[in-house]
C-alpha cells in the first residue's frame, strides 16, 4: 500500500516525467523559459553589479586579485566536477532512474576527490603565484566542489523539464544571499575572506534550494556499464571543459604571476563586468536552448528556423551591451568602483568588445551538443585555445593593456566556430552574416556616437554619473535606430517575442 502511494506521489511524478524529453509545445516552453531568463538576467545583473560596486569600496584591488588567483584552481576543478555527465543526461531523449543515480554518485565521488586534490595542491600555490595567501583561501574554497557535485542531477532534471521558473528563483535567491553575506563580512572588516564566505554561502544555498525544489533522492545503486558506454561523449565534454578553463583562466595565471595581486585585481574586475554579458545573457540562454535543440534535433527545417531566430535575437541583444561597456568605460569605472580602480579603464575598453563577439556567437555550444558533435567542437577548441595561450604569452612582456588587447582579438576565433556549428544543420556563411553583420555595424555606429558625444560634453559641468546616464541613453537610442534602419526584421522579432511573453505572463 505504501509503495503504491509512493508511486503516485506527485513529487515522484516530476522525476518520472523528466526521464523522456518532450518536444510538444516546445515553442511555448522556450518563450516562457526566455521570459524568466531575461527577467533573471536583469535581476542578477543588478545584484551582481550593485554588490561589486559596494565591495569595491570596502576591499582593495589586491583582495580581488587573490580571489582571482584562487579562481584559476577552483574553476578548473569545478568544471571537471560533473565530468560532462550532466550534459549527457540533458541530451539523451530517454534517461532511466538508474542512470540518474549513477550520475549522482559519480559526480559526488569526483567532487570529493577534486576537493581533496585542491586541498593538497593549495600548499604549492606559493610557487605558482609567488604568494602564500592564495593557498590559505583554497584550503577553505575546496568545500565548494563537494557542494557543486550535489547539484548535477537536480539541475539536469530541471533542464530536461525546462522548468526555468524554478531555476530563476533558485539562482536569484542564491545570488542575493551570497552578496549579502559577502558585503556584511566585508563591512565587518574580514577583507578577502568575505569573498570566500560569500562564495561558499551561495553554493550551499543552491544545494538546499535544489533539494527542496527537485524531489530527487539518490538510491544506493550504481551502473558502471553506463559510465563506460558514455565515456566517449563524456570525455569530449570534459575535453571541451578543460579547454574552456584554459581559455578563460590562462590570462589570470599569467597576469597574476607576472604582475601580482593588485594588477590582477584590476584585470579581474574588468573581466567580471564584461563577463556579465556572456554569463548573464548568453550562458542562461544556452541552458534554455540546449534541451530545446536536443528535442527537435531530427527535424532539420524546424531546427534551422529556431536557430536563426534565436541567434539573431541573441546578437541583437548582446552586441550593444558589450560595445556599450567598451564605449562608456571612462565613466562607468569611477562611478561604479571609485577612483582607486581607474587603471582598469583601458582593460574594460578592450574586453567589452571581446565579450560582444563571444556572447553573440555563444549559440554554437548548444548546437554542437544537441547534434552530438562534441568531439568536433573539441578539435576546434584545441586550436582556439592554443592561439590564445601563445598570443597571451607573447604579449605579456609588453604590459597588462597589451595582454587585454590580444585577448580581445582572440574573440574573432569564436566566429569561426559559430560558422562550423551552423554547418552542422545545413546553414552557411550567408546565414552567419545575416545573424552578425547588422548588430555589429549598429554597435560600431553607437560606439562612435558615444565617443563624439563625450567630446561635446567634455567642457560641461554635468556630474559624472549624469554624464554616464546620458551617454547610455543616447547610445541605446542610436543603436536601436541604426539597427531598425538596417533591417525592420528585428522590430518584428522583438515585438512577437514581447507579445508572447506578455501573453504567457
Q: Which residues contact 51 (CB under 8 A, 6 or more apart)?
A: 179, 182, 183
The answer as to whether 473 is a domain residue is: yes
Domain boundary among 229, 247, 265: 229
Confidence class for position 235, pLDDT limits 50, 70, 90 = low
Cell of 135: 593557498
197 & 242 share domain: no
Q: Are residues 216 and 311 in the same domain?
A: no
Whole-number Å distance between alpha carbons of 53 and 133:
24
Same domain, 322 and 456: yes
Q: Is 52 part of any domain?
A: no
Nearest-CA neighbor of 313 among 84, 501, 92, 89? 501
| pLDDT for residue 466 is more than 90 | yes
DSSP 79-139: HHTTTTHHHHHHH-SB--HHHHHHHHHHHHHHHHHHHHHHHHHGGGHHHHHS-SHHHHHHH
Q: Indicate the number of domains in the chain.
A: 2
Closest C-alpha to 333, from 255, 266, 281: 266
Burial 476-490 (b: 16+ CB within 10 A, else e): eebbbebbeeebeeb
pLDDT at 198 over 60: yes
Per the CB < 8 A criterion, the answer to whether 230 and 91 are in contact is: no
Better-scored residue on pLDDT, 443 or 236:
443
Lowest-confidence region among 331-340, 352-361, 489-498: 489-498
Residue by residue, DSSP assigns 424-455 as TTT--HHHHHHHHHHHHHHHHHHHHHHHHHHH
Alpha-carbon distance of 235 to 216, in angstroms, equals 26
Report yes or no on 13 lying in a domain: no
pLDDT digits (tens, 9 = 90+) for 322-352: 999 999 999 999 998 888 899 999 999 999 9
Per-residue H/E/C for 234-298: HHHHHHHHHHHHHHHHHHHHHHHHHHCHHHHHHHHHHHHHHHHHHHHHHHHHHHHHHHHHHHCCC
What is the maximum span of the chain, computed from C-alpha positions, in angstroms?
81
Q: Is residue 3 part of a domain?
A: no
Q: Are residues 85 and 203 in the same domain?
A: yes
Q: Is 228 a residue whose pLDDT tops 90?
A: no
**For range 231-255, the mean pLDDT:** 68
Of 176, 200, 229, the one marking the end of a domain is: 229
pLDDT of residue 101 exceeding 90? no
pLDDT value of position 187: 95
pLDDT bracket for residue 148 (50, 70, 90): confident
Residue 277 has what pLDDT? 64
Share of the chain above pLDDT 70, in %: 78
Output the pLDDT for position 469.
94
Instruction: Let me know whether 145 and 260 are in one domain.
Output: no
Taking each continuous run of H as one helix and of E as one strand, the counts in the chain are 26, 0
Same structural domain for residues 394 and 423?
yes
Q: Are residues 254 and 225 in the same domain?
A: no
Mean of pLDDT over the chain: 81
252: in domain? yes
d(CA 485, CA 245): 40
What confidence category does residue 489 fall into, taking pLDDT thresholds of 50, 70 and 90? confident
Residues 263 and 330 in one domain: yes
Q: Choose between 318 and 43: higher pLDDT.
A: 318
Check pLDDT > 50 for residue 290. Answer: no
Which residue among 229, 245, 277 closes a domain? 229
Q: 202: Cβ–Cβ under 8 A, 6 or more apart, which residues?
A: 174, 175, 177, 178, 181
Rounded CA separation 476/450 (Å): 10
Based on the domain organization, do 162 and 82 belong to the same domain? yes
For range 32-61, the mean pLDDT:
78
Least confident of 52-61, 279-288, 354-363: 279-288
For residue 386, what pLDDT band results from cuts at 50, 70 and 90? confident
Q: What is the mean pLDDT of residues 355-375?
A: 81
Residue 374: pLDDT over 80: no
Q: What is the pLDDT of residue 178?
A: 92
Q: Are residues 273 and 418 in the same domain?
A: yes
252 and 210 part of one domain:
no
Query: Same structural domain for residues 448 and 399?
Result: yes
Q: Do the beta carbons of residue 474 and residue 449 sit within 8 Å? A: yes
Mean pLDDT for 164-175 is 86
**pLDDT at residue 33 is higher than 70:** no
**Residue 350 lies inside a defined structural domain of this protein:** yes
Domain residues for the domain of 224 are: 59-229
Residue 54 is assigned to a structural domain of this protein: no
Among residues 50, 40, 277, which one has the least CA distance to residue 182? 50
Structural domain includes residue 324: yes
Amino acid at each position: 500500500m505504501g509503495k503504491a502511494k509512493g508511486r503516485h506521489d506527485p513529487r515522484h511524478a516530476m522525476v518520472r516525467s523528466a526521464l523522456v524529453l518532450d518536444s510538444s509545445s516546445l515553442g511555448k516552453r522556450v518563450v516562457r523559459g526566455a521570459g524568466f531568463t531575461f527577467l533573471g538576467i536583469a535581476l542578477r545583473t543588478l545584484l551582481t553589479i550593485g554588490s561589486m560596486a559596494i565591495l569595491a569600496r570596502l576591499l582593495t584591488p589586491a583582495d580581488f586579485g587573490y580571489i582571482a588567483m584562487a579562481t584559476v584552481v577552483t574553476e578548473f576543478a569545478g568544471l571537471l566536477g560533473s565530468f560532462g555527465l550532466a550534459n549527457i543526461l540533458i541530451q539523451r531523449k530517454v534517461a532511466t532512474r538508474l542512470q540518474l543515480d549513477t550520475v549522482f554518485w559519480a559526480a559526488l565521488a569526483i567532487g570529493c576527490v577534486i576537493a581533496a586534490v585542491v586541498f593538497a595542491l593549495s600548499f604549492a600555490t606559493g610557487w605558482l603565484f609567488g604568494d602564500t595567501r592564495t593557498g590559505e583561501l583554497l584550503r577553505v574554497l575546496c568545500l565548494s566542489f563537494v557542494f557543486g557535485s550535489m547539484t548535477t542531477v537536480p539541475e539536469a532534471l530541471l533542464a530536461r523539464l525546462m522548468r526555468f521558473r524554478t531555476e530563476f528563483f533558485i539562482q536569484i535567491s542564491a545570488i542575493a544571499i551570497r552578496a549579502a553575506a559577502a558585503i556584511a563580512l566585508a563591512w565587518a572588516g574580514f577583507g578577502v575572506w568575505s569573498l570566500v564566505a560569500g562564495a561558499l554561502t551561495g553554493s550551499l544555498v543552491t544545494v538546499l534550494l535544489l533539494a527542496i525544489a527537485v524531489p530527487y533522492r539518490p538510491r544506493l545503486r550504481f551502473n558502471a556499464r553506463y559510465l563506460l558506454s558514455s565515456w566517449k561523449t563524456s570525455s569530449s565534454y570534459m575535453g571541451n571543459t578543460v579547454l574552456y578553463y584554459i581559455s578563460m583562466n590562462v590570462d589570470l595565471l599569467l597576469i597574476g604571476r607576472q604582475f601580482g595581486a593588485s594588477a590582477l585585481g584590476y584585470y579581474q574586475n574588468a573581466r567580471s563586468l564584461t563577463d556579465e554579458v556572456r554569463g548573464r545573457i548568453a550562458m542562461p540562454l544556452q541552458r534554455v536552448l540546449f534541451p530545446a535543440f536536443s528535442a527537435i534535433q531530427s527535424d532539420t527545417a524546424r531546427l534551422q528556423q529556431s536557430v536563426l531566430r534565436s541567434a539573431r535575437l541573441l546578437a541583437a541583444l548582446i552586441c550593444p551591451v558589450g560595445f556599450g561597456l567598451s564605449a562608456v568605460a571612462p565613466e562607468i569605472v569611477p562611478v561604479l568602483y571609485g577612483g582607486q580602480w581607474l587603471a582598469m579603464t583601458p582593460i574594460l575598453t578592450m574586453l567589452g568588445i571581446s565579450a560582444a563577439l563571444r556572447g553573440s556567437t555563444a549559440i554554437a555550444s548548444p548546437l554542437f551538443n544537441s547534434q552530438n558533435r562534441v568531439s568536433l567542437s573539441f578539435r576546434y577548441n584545441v586550436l582556439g585555445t592554443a592561439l590564445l595561450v601563445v598570443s597571451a604569452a607573447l604579449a605579456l612582456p609588453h604590459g597588462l593593456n597589451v595582454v587585454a588587447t590580444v585577448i580581445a582579438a582572440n574573440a574573432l576565433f569564436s566566429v569561426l566556430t559559430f560558422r562550423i556549428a551552423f554547418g552542422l544543420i545545413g546553414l552557411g556563411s550567408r546565414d552567419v552574416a545575416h545573424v552578425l553583420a547588422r548588430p555589429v555595424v549598429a554597435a560600431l555606429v553607437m560606439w562612435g556616437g558615444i565617443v563624439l558625444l563625450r567630446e561635446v560634453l567634455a567642457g560641461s559641468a554635468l556630474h559624472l554619473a549624469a554624464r554616464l546616464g546620458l551617454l547610455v541613453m543616447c547610445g541605446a537610442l542610436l543603436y536601436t535606430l541604426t539597427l531598425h534602419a538596417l533591417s525592420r526584421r528585428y522590430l518584428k522579432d522583438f515585438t512577437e517575442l514581447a507579445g508572447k511573453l506578455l501573453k504567457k505572463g
